[in-house]
Amino acid sequence: MAHSLVLVATRGARSMYLLRHLRLLCETLGLILFELRGVDFCPGARCVLFFMLIALNKPYGLLSQFTHETGSAWGTLAELRMPKGVYALGRLDADSEGLLLLSDEAGLNSRLLNPDHGHRREYWVMVERVPTDEALIQLAAGVKIGDHATLPCVVQRLEPAPTLPPRDPPVRFRKTVPDSWLSLELTEGKNRQVRRMTAAIGHPTLRLMRVRIGELTLESLALKPGKWRELTAEERKMVFV
């Protein structure tokens, strides 16, 4: 659904009464109310703009953008026929899967991705071999990836391994090399950070899926890979918890 544009006349006590109630409605629904003064739509009018917030279960093989990169074999979000004007809030690499948010509202990137805000994101990671407890303590405390020292994060083993839809193409399998699953909860998002973190403790990532943003989980959305929908008011609130 495209965002709605509502013009509210502001002349007279009756109009101001309606505008106050519209503000309360926006707060209840978790929507953003913009009052643009001096816009020449019609005399004494204000503009109320409702922004979209969309959840996508991004499949493997798609870049988190709508434009194709020259020479790249990866697809783009343009293949999913999403509404015009939306952009990805953060990114998932083409070889990563899971929960990706998109919006047509400017400024949400900073609100969600600035480490100073401590906004939580959870990833499920399939790694080569089984890390020791000492390796996981090191991972949780922070590791060096290039010139950056990662912030402390929450690390847990996923036992038993999660039941997920098969990936296309399948994950590389080797009979002589076991694998295991971890959960990482981060509050920052450097380029290919999760992969670089697990590599830093000697356990390359085989499969990576983002399963939660704030308190909004991929499981609760029940979206199949490649499917998307606009969030409800309650789901919007869960994103920013």
Report CA Rg, the chain: 21
Neighbouring C-beta atoms of residue 132, cutoff 10 Å: 12
Burial class (CB in 10 A: 0-12, 13-18, 19+), 131: buried
Catalogue the long-range contacts made by 102-109 (C-beta closer than 8 Å, 24 or more residues apart): 102/52, 102/53, 102/54, 102/56, 102/77, 102/228, 103/51, 103/52, 103/53, 103/54, 104/3, 104/51, 104/52, 105/32, 105/51, 105/52, 105/53, 108/53
| Nearest-angstrom CA–CA distance, 26 and 12 | 22
Over 3-37, what HEC string results? CCEEEEECCHHHHHHHHHHHHHHHHHHCCCCCCCC
- Within 10 angstroms of residue 80's Cβ, the number of other Cβ atoms is 16
Q: Active-site residue 133, yes or no?
A: no
Strand pairing class (148-149; 154-157):
unpaired
Find the length of the chain. Answer: 241
Catalytic site residue from 40, 93, 116, 168:
93
Annotated active-site positions, please?
A: 93
